[in-house]
Amino acid sequence: MSANEEKKFVIKCVFENLKSLPVREGRSEVIYSPVEKHYNAFWNIRLHKYESVIIPFLVCKSFQMGGWSIDTASDVFINGKLLKTEFQIKFQQNSSYINNLAIERDDFPEYGIDESAQIEFHVKIDKMSGNFRNFDNDVARELSDTVLMVENNKFYVNKMYLSLHSTYFKSLLLGKFEEAKKSEIDLKDILVMDFHIFLSVIYGFIVVAEAYIENLLKLADYFDAEIVMERCEAFLVTISKKSFVEKYQLSLNYKLDNLKKKCLSEMNKNTDFVGLAPENSEVIVRKHGRSSI
């Protein structure tokens, strides 16, 4: 795609059971659409439902070192009916925006909202700034010798480099499995955003961060990626703001000995020993449900 070509995409989702969602006074219930990858960023729709109003949000995340921003203008549709035209949002790291897309309950019939509603954002990207690393550009294709498919997204990778950092991929790509002979391999039960983060840590595109460390640990364990596990443990030991209990449970679940030793050395009479019991000391997560951003 040329630099001057317009960047456009449509993201939509049918949100079910809108009337039956439990709502606490003064609080909203939140529903998420699946995450999609467009132009090397990750997008989904987040729907807030209050007692008498629903509010759709477009959400964008990018995982990279350094600052980034994406300026967008969206036409928003509810069940095919235009709600807002040229709704402008500037996305950047740790940003939020004022949302005037609220739909009052009295207006539900106008938009055909009953138990469900299809919400669409027709997005046009006006400007992108930052270094958006990805695994499907011309350079990645030129240097790769295999393609990994995750939720219909292609990741162009090098077998030897990936195998160096993951015994799972060493067996899959260089072993006697049938996949070793294929030029394109489909990875099941993996979320595209999680896998992008996992590869980005291996390639050094990003560093470990609080927002995604638990999903990263799951994939590091699943793919037996020692370098990723080491970087996660170092983050938990030195930087993470997670609670003492959370860190100790992670140290047990993923056999993080250095983290466990640090936790044990910090125990005192005020320690929550009940909370230290692991939720499931045998857990090694192999499958991942829908994530949200």
Q: Is the pLDDT of residue 95 over 90?
A: no
Query: Would you state the pLDDT for residue 136?
Result: 87
Summarize pLDDT for 134-180 with one digit per residue, the tens: 898 888 889 899 999 999 999 999 999 999 999 999 999 998 888 88
For tokens 């990778």, what's the residue? 157
Instruction: Give 23's pLDDT tier (boundaries 50, 70, 90).
Output: low
Q: Please tell me which of 96-100, 177-181, 205-209 the model is most confident about, judged by mean pLDDT.
A: 205-209
CATH number for region 138-241:
3.30.710.10
Gyration radius (Cα) of the chain, Å? 22
| In the chain, where the domains are located | 7-129, 138-241
Instruction: Give 20's pLDDT tier (boundaries 50, 70, 90).
Output: low
What is the average pLDDT score of the chain?
A: 87
**Equal CATH topology for 7-129 and 138-241:** no
Q: What is the mean pLDDT of residues 59-88?
A: 91
Query: Would you state the pLDDT for residue 18?
Result: 82
Query: Would you state the pLDDT for residue 275?
Result: 59
For tokens 């460390």, what's the residue? 213
7-129, which class in CATH?
A: mainly beta
**Strands (E) located in 50-135:** 53-61, 69-78, 81-92, 103-104, 117-129
Instruction: Give 285's pLDDT tier (boundaries 50, 70, 90).
Output: very low
Token pair belonging to 34: 């699946």
Summarize pLDDT for 103-140 with one digit per residue, the tens: 998 999 999 998 899 999 999 999 998 777 789 888 88
Q: What is the pTM of this model?
A: 0.79
Q: Which helix (H) or strand (E) holds 9?
A: strand 7-15
- Give the residue among 270, 213, 283 at the shortest CA–CA distance from 242: 213
Q: Under 8 Å CB-to-CB from 100, ≥6 apart: which residues?
A: 84
Choice between 99 and 101, residue whose per-residue pLDDT is larger: 101
Query: Would you state the pLDDT for residue 272?
Result: 61
